Structure 1
């Protein structure tokens, strides 16, 4: 290969490399937009489902206005899926409780970092602490304070139950936080 051919080949390779780098940046930007859109759709679906449960509860109350027995609210049930579409858990929720039943293939251990350092310490514990402070200040009845329970099979987490989440924003945060935790653990 002559010097000119060598230089021409190097120039072509440099152009290809520059194009590849530009294309990777474009694809990463597109992927980020798709992720944000997916999160937005998830939030909208959560809000729609939450409203349906509210509407259902109102209809039940209207249908039986003065019955002394409390009718159990039917939970809204949906899948928690990874971005790739894998079923990570089933979430069922009412106005008072949200329950995450992990899928059999999901291996979330009690000592996994995303579980302990993120879901427990950064999401659930701060929510519970916020409610505890409101109870102490007299702003919230103790029976309405957020509490959670983790159900284990050995050291494997099989279900997460959160009671008294009270706010739609908290429900969305819980669902997205559990999804992130399970997706992070599943991708290992």
Structure 2
């Protein structure tokens, strides 16, 4: 292929493999959602559910009430989030009472290779002590940092330009390496993810990337 190096072709093949896995996972999620929706429809059909029209509530008043309630909920959520963020700053990631831990395991032998600690506004990806992965091992820089995390930063920068986001709220990340070997990754810290969808994307991508890095290291 003219204009493309061997590395470009390899990276494209790896990304295609990752995208294929993402499609399969999303399809599975969609099927589960459809099943849940079907169950809910069955409950509503057989129960005593009544719509706003059946309750003789004027449409205009119903719409107005929904808007007011939505605004009130947004303000309360923001206040609760701000308070929670301040409390989180005073607490350590070592406190198990407020964190979620998700393991990353290698598919071929189910070996635990890393742990992902998810806090209210940050994530920490920590490889197991027996796992050595280098900053320079593909596709860490080319895909995980430059495509996924930097891609999220680019979207946040657009929101900042449009006035929807402040610079302090923009997603950022830091790579902690071994003191003895500056290329050996000890921890990846991601702040201000803000959205659940980003948590899922970062986790799924990290799982795939770390697995690929280990495979390359074994060759």
Query: What band does the TM-score fall into relative to the shorter chain?
Result: 0.5 to 0.7
Give yes or no for contact 1:107–1:185 (8 Å, CA) kept in 2.
no
Normalised by the length of structure 2, the TM-score is 0.54
Q: Deviations over 1:21-52 (max 9, x none)?
A: xxxxxxxxxxx99x9369958xx9xxxxxxxx
Match of 1:36 among 24, 28, 31: 24
Match of residue 164 from structure 1: 192
Trace 1:148-159 onto structure 2 (pairs within 5 A).
148-153=173-178, 154-159=182-187
- CA 1:141–1:37 in structure 2 vs 1: closer, same or farther (change >3 Å)? closer
In 2, distance between residues paired with 1:88 and 1:78?
11
Taking only aligned residues, the RMSD between alpha carbons, in angstroms, comes to: 2.9
Gapped regions of structure 2 (runs ≥ 5): 1-19, 33-76, 92-96
Tell me, yes or no, if structure 1 residue 107 matches structure 2 residue 97. no
- CA 1:39–1:179 in structure 2 vs 1: closer, same or farther (change >3 Å)? farther
Regions of 4+ moved over 4 Å: 37-41
What's the offset of the Cα at 1:172?
Answer: 0.6
Tell me, yes or no, if structure 1 residue 116 matches structure 2 residue 104. no
- CA 1:186–1:39 in structure 2 vs 1: closer, same or farther (change >3 Å)? farther
What's the offset of the Cα at 1:107?
Answer: 2.2
Gapped regions of structure 1 (runs ≥ 5): 1-31, 45-57
Match of residue 8 from structure 2: none
Match of residue 159 from structure 2: 134
The higher-RCO structure (CA 8 Å, 6+ apart) is: 1
Match of residue 16 from structure 2: none
Greater Rg by CA: 1
Tell me, yes or no, if structure 1 residue 83 matches structure 2 residue 111. no
Instruction: Classify the secondary structure of the residue corresponding to 1:155.
Output: coil
- CA 1:138–1:171 in structure 2 vs 1: closer, same or farther (change >3 Å)? same
In 2, distance between residues paired with 1:145 and 1:75?
22
How many residues align? The count is 133
Q: Deviations over 1:54-85 (max 9, x none)?
A: xxxx9xx7xxxx9xx83647111121112131
In 1, distance between residues paired with 2:123 and 2:111?
21
Instruction: Classify the secondary structure of the residue corresponding to 1:70.
Output: helix
- CA 1:168–1:38 in structure 2 vs 1: closer, same or farther (change >3 Å)? closer
- CA 1:98–1:40 in structure 2 vs 1: closer, same or farther (change >3 Å)? farther
